[in-house]
Amino acid sequence: MIQKKDLAIYVHIPFCIRKCYYCDFASFVAPRQTQALYMQSLQEELKSYTPLGNHYIVRSIYFGGGTPSVLEPIYLMRVLLDIRDHFLVAKDVEITVECNPGTLSESKLQEYKALGINRLSIGLQSANDAELKLLGRIHTWSVFRSNYALARRLGFNNINIDLMQSLPHQTVEGWMDTLQKVTELSPEHISAYSLTIEPGTPFYNTYGSPEGQKELPSEEEDREMYHRTRDFLHTRGYERYEISNYAKEGYESRHNITYWVGGDYLGLGLNAASYMDGRRFTNPKDLQEYRDTARGAYARCKAAEPLTEKARMEEFMFLGLRMMQGVSEMEFRNRFRKTIADVYGDIPTKLMAEGLLKREKGRLKLTERGIDVSNGVMAEFIL
């Protein structure tokens, strides 16, 4: 019998009720008709991967967006059924749906439950209504609260809450207030990101200029928020396991960890990225182009250039370092038949001397300071 490889499947649902002012994801508002056609293409895309069915066992499925929860649950059902048709799915599979407050109802959540969806990731961003309004969110804190309570009542016992710090005009105290309120609800997992002003968004027009930047918290404040987040969540029973992710023990996101440890994942849908069999490829960003080529997805995947060993080493390092557990020196050697020192010379030593990296029990990890400037640290591992 062939040893089956673990696989994570990402399903991109690009639809939203309204686009938030900071968002630069492949997402947009679309009529039902467009949604139906899109889901049809996505099923065609999925079908093209049938030949891989024997090689993989699916460990996690993640509906991301966009706002997957705007879709009628029947679409999610079709995708899940197709996945089960073509792939072996692990008994304890983690199935996550990203949802936004204001798009959840009792019936919808009940259907999710029936489909085997066992993890919700709710985009709250802030517990402060003025901040929510500024971000262009469609919901308030109280709408979130009732959605959350509903999910709990229906038995969802693995919930992530997405939060965003360093919002315009936000103070450290304001941010701590959001954290306080959220932890009172005791979700299993919290993702806390710093707001990034991305080109092409309305926020970029407002806050992208040197003048606009003055309305954002300073770098010092941003770092203070970040460090206080870790300390505060620690006291509430959450451990930081990745730069921006915190979980109660045993509730780390299996799906996201796949990305960071170089596991195989299949991305379905608009602009979704995949990494399978040493090859990376990304679906078209243009909706029409995506739909026109969905059928040939697997053929394209096979045609992609495999990553060079150099690229694999680089990724092993810069993705692995995002995890607080860092990278294992032993594993590097097992994978590449060379030690980290063979490949990177004195770079790790230099970074350790600068206090950016540390070595513990055969693993290299970022220090707190190393996290703050991690781009610079990771860039050192580009060969």
Partner 1 sequence: MADIDQSRIRNFCIIAHIDHGKSTLADRIIEKTGLLTQREMQEQVLDNMDLERERGITIKSQAVRTIYKANDGKEYVFNLIDTPGHVDFNYEVSRSLAACDGAVLVVDAAQGIEAQTLANVYLALDADLEVFPVINKIDLPSAEPERVINEIEDVIGIEAQDAPQISAKNGVNIEAVLEAIVEKIPAPSGDPDAPLQALIFDSIYDSYRGVIVFCRLMHGRVRKGMTISMMATGASFDVVEVGTFGAGQFIPCDELSAGMVGYLTASIKNVRDTRVGDTVTEKARPCKEALPGYKKVLPMVYCGMYPADGAKYPDLRDALEKLQLNDASLQYEPETSVALGFGFRCGFLGLLHLEIIQERLEREYNLDLITTAPSVIYKVYKTNGEVIDLTNPTNMPDPTEIEYMEEPIVKAEIMVTTEFIGAIMDLCQERRGNYLGMEYMEDTRAMLKYELPLNEIIYDFFDALKSRSRGYASFDYEMAGYKRSSLVKLDILVNREEVDALSFIVFEGTAYERGRKMCEKLKEEIPRQLFEIPIQAAIGNRIIARETVKAMRKDVLAKCYGGDITRKRKLLEKQKEGKKRMRQVGTVEIPQKAFMSVLKLDSE
Catalog residues that contact partner 1 under the rule CB under 8 A.
10, 12, 25, 64, 193-194, 196, 219-220, 222-223, 243-244, 259-260, 265, 267, 272-275, 280, 282, 311, 314-315, 318-319, 322, 354, 356, 371-376, 378-380, 382
Q: How far is CA 8 from CA 93, 128, 231, 315, in A?
A: 9, 34, 31, 18
Please give the C-alpha separations between residue 260 and each of 25, 46, 317, 318, in angstroms, as whole numbers. Answer: 20, 24, 10, 9
Give the pair of three-digit tokens for residue 172. Answer: 């450290």
Helix locations, 115-235, DSSP H = 129-135, 141-153, 172-184, 202-207, 210-213, 219-235
Shortest Cβ distance from residue 10 to partner 1 (Å)? Answer: 6
**Which CB atom, from 90 or from 273, has the smaller least distance to partner 1?**
273
Report in angstroms how near the CB of residue 301 gets to partner 1 at its nearest.
13
Nearer to partner 1, 355 or 362 (CB): 355
Return the number of the residue (109 or 182) whose C-beta is nearest partner 1: 182
Query: Taking each helix axis from N to C terminus, what angle separates 32-48 and 73-86, rounded to the nearest 10 degrees?
Result: 10
Shortest distance in whole angstroms from residue 373 CB to partner 1: 4
| Encoded tokens for 121 | 């990731």
Name residue, tokens 């979700």.
187
Cβ closest to partner 1, residue 159 vs residue 270: 270
Cβ proximity to partner 1, 64 vs 168, nearer residue: 64
| Under 8 Å between Cβ of 242 and 230 | no
CB of 150 to partner 1, least distance (A): 27
- Cβ-based nearer residue to partner 1, 71 or 272: 272
Give residue 142's identity as a one-letter amino acid code.
Answer: S
Provide the minimum distance between the beta carbon of 272 and partner 1 in the complex, in angstroms, as a whole number. 7
Least distance in angstroms from the C-beta of 114 to partner 1: 26
Q: Where would I find the beta strands (DSSP E) of the chain?
A: 5-13, 56-65, 88-99, 119-125, 159-165, 189-194, 239-242, 245-247, 265-268, 273-276, 279-282, 327-328, 357-360, 363-366
**Chain centroid offset of residue 34 CA:** 25
CB of 200 to partner 1, least distance (A): 14
Distance, first Cα to last Cα, the chain: 39
Between 137 and 255, whose beta carbon lies closer to partner 1? 255
**Which residue lies nearer to partner 1 by CB, 9 or 143?**
9
b/e for 320-332, b at 16 or more Cβ within 10 A?
Answer: bbbbbbbbbbeeb
Nearest to 162, CA basis, from 106, 98, 220, 225 = 98
Residue 64 has a CB neighbour count (10 Å cut-off) of 21
Report the nearest approach of partner 1 to the CB of residue 136 (Å).
18
Nearer to partner 1, 104 or 225 (CB): 225
Dist. CA 270–CA 281, nearest whole Å: 12
CB of 72 to partner 1, least distance (A): 23
